[in-house]
A and B are shown apart, each in its own frame.
Chain A
Amino acid sequence: MTAYTDKIREIARRLLKDCKVETVIGFRKGTVPMMNEPCFITRADAADELVWDGNCGINLANYLTDRKEKIAVFAKGCDSRNIVNHIVENKIDRDQLYIVGVPCKGMIDKRRIRGMAPGEITEVAEDGDAVRVKGRDFEESYDRKDVLQSNCAVCVHRNPVVYDELVADEVTEQTDVDRFADIAEIEAMSPEEKRAYFEELLAPCIRCYACRNACPLCYCPTCFVDESQPQWVGKSQNPTDVWTFHFLRAYHCAGRCTDCGACERACPVGINMRLLTKKLNKDAFEKWGWEAGLTLEQRPPLDTYRPNDPEEFIK
């Protein structure tokens, strides 16, 4: 995917030179391995700052909220679905955006790679299907497919669903993946096992809210955890309060989450809170055949009513 960089720069340069947009939102090269930084450019001569590789896992739809100008944004499959959400939820007009679709082969998982490497990593380079990792006294090479973010490994919407232009031909979508295998495992647990599982899952949480803030869905002016009159959630490390945050946040994403993985990627203590949102994605898929952000033409399941909606959960 690193070959995309040249094309991305060319597109950004053209859009700004021709005054098609005022701002281009993309990524610039990070200062540490496996990190790029979201950035905006407003001048054609700054286009060479932009890069693209397997470290662009932050969802750029998150940077569109409440902006007023005409924007070009580079969008992977998941980013484009979150842009659809933004448009459907009236957060931004389609006309305000010039969407440059980026067919995606998956983002690499920095935590998995850090865990596999025998020491501190000082350099990571992608070379086709290989990810080459260097440290002070080692060099390793991993197969790209073994080090993908876990959401990317089971992604079936790698191509952008809405765009004005693509940076490259569409990629082949994955078909033989069991998207919800991890959720089925948890569903099979007893209530006691589930409780113990979630207790352990959420124990490291430091309540920095990186998961919430990295998420393009979380744009409420004031989040429920920040309300003080009344205060719904305590602010200590009391597990009930920590769980309340995570569970309620997940429910607020029901029928809206694209499993872009930004939340898990952002977490500084390695919590896979995607397990919560994925369960709701699974429910939305099984009950309504719904996958978030695939179409501008249909309202999401939780803001529509149909007489034949499933209701077996009402006792």
Chain B
Amino acid sequence: MKCIKIDKKQWAGGLETAASTYRLFGPVKSGEVYEFAALAPGREPDMAVQNTRTSPRSVVYPQAEVMFEYTTDENDPDAHVMKEPETDEKPRAAIGIRPCDAYSFVLVRRNFDSAEHQDVYWLRNYEETTFIGQACHNPCSTCFCTTAGCGPFHEAGLDVLLADAGDHYVARVLTDKGETFMKAAGWDAGIDCPDQEWEGWKTAAQEKIVSEVATDRLANIDTLALHDAGFWDDAAFSCINCGTCTYLCPTCWCFDIQDENKGRKGIRYRCWDSCMFPLFTLHGSGHNPRGDKTQRVRQRFMHKLKYYVDRYENGIQCVGCGRCVQHCPVNIDIRNVCNLMNSFGEAESCSVA
């Protein structure tokens, strides 16, 4: 393990240097909320902000992304050719991404990069992105990362993990990609990794997590029985079927594909879609297999907490960032629903020793 000390006085300068090789993204205030967005030249990421309102998902997976352009104008030599949009963009670096958000890409990758399918757009963006994480010394009260497969100092999905040590950052360089970025930023003050101190920070941060979910029984519960459980109407009653949860979530991956034409020219793009919207499942015949809101709410939770668990056998499709908990307009709380699902049928399985 290689560690580097970054004096905070060298932080802004290093980022400026790195910006000649990388396109930087980070937490910035926009209006009244923080988003994880491209940093304008000279703009520093706000490292103090805990969880940005919108997740860093869009760094790799923009809300709308052009797949190709086309023309049907026979006079154009490129008529009927599907051309990728021209780009001279530099590789990306996500600065100050939180460990849970970085881990979300590991979960989402199982969908976009499987043995059967490789999503070229997502993979291209993902592979060219370097993730410079920032450990959470002070997690929010709604963070439940430690019971959702990661934690405030989790390293999976990161290339570098920074811990705040007052006047400097301690950077643990986790991958070659991370090392390349550190060189590009000119941060080269190698130090012996302060492993003991690091463990202390990590334990202190984990102890500040006050929120949790139980997931131990999910894999063994019968899928159809859970699907037909009695609690869904109550759990879904308040839902207004907006896309807040799915659009703030770092692990939601569903999309729609659209063509937009003007004259003989057009583009095909894909954009985020949401299982909360009736249109998401509307068939050409007019039939909608998930026409009721309860069905849609159930789908969202079953996908994250049951189907994903069964399909990938690698935990839930949730990193515990708490965005949906904090910002659902009607206070549907995934922690409650997860616990309801996990305890489903528990009474029947009781055995007295």
Contacts and interface: CB of A to CB of B under 8 A. Distances in A.
Interface in B69-106: none
A36 B328 CA distance: 11
A118 interface: no
A254 to B, nearest CB: 22
A269 B29 CA distance: 11
B331 A268 contact: no
A244 interface: no
Contacts of B269: 236
Nearest to A263: B329
B244 interface: yes
A289 interface: no
Nearest to B208: A136
Given A120-B141, A213-B241, A111 B32 contact: yes
B155 interface: no
Interface of A is mostly: loop
Interface string B9-45: 0000000000000000000001111010000000000
A270 B32 contact: yes
B108 interface: no
Contacts of A298: none
Contacts of B172: none
Interface in B243-263: 243-244, 246-248, 256, 258, 260
A265 interface: yes
A61 to B, nearest CB: 12
Contact of A32 (B53, B244, B247, B331): B331
A268 B329 contact: yes
Given A62-B240, A208-B242, A210-B242, A35 B331 contact: yes
Given A208-B244, A270-B31, A236 B258 contact: yes
A266 B234 CA distance: 20
B242 A122 contact: no
A208 B333 CA distance: 18
Interface string B318-336: 0000000111011111011
Contact of B271 (A30, A228, A236): A236
B122 interface: no
B33 A204 contact: yes
Interface string B275-297: 00111000000000000000000
B299 interface: no
B294 to A, nearest CB: 12
Given A31-B325, A210-B329, A236-B258, A203 B30 contact: yes
Interface stretch (A10-18, A37-45, A162-170, A188-196): A37-45
Contacts of A269: 31, 33, 35, 53-54
Contacts of B331: 30-32, 35-37
B329 A58 contact: yes
B256 A268 contact: no
A111 B63 CA distance: 25
A212 to B, nearest CB: 8
A214 interface: yes
A184 interface: no
13 contacts: A32-B333, A35-B331, A36-B331, A37-B330, A37-B331, A38-B237, A115-B32, A206-B63, A206-B243, A206-B247, A210-B242, A236-B63, A269-B31
Interface of A: 30-32, 35-40, 58, 62-63, 111, 115, 120, 122, 200, 203-204, 206-210, 212-214, 222, 226, 228, 234-238, 265-271
Given A203-B30, A209-B277, A268-B248, 13 more contacts: A31-B325, A35-B331, A38-B237, A38-B330, A120-B141, A212-B242, A226-B278, A235-B258, A236-B271, A237-B64, A265-B329, A269-B54, A271-B31
Top-7 shortest CB links A-B? A266-B329, A210-B242, A236-B64, A208-B243, A213-B240, A37-B331, A270-B32
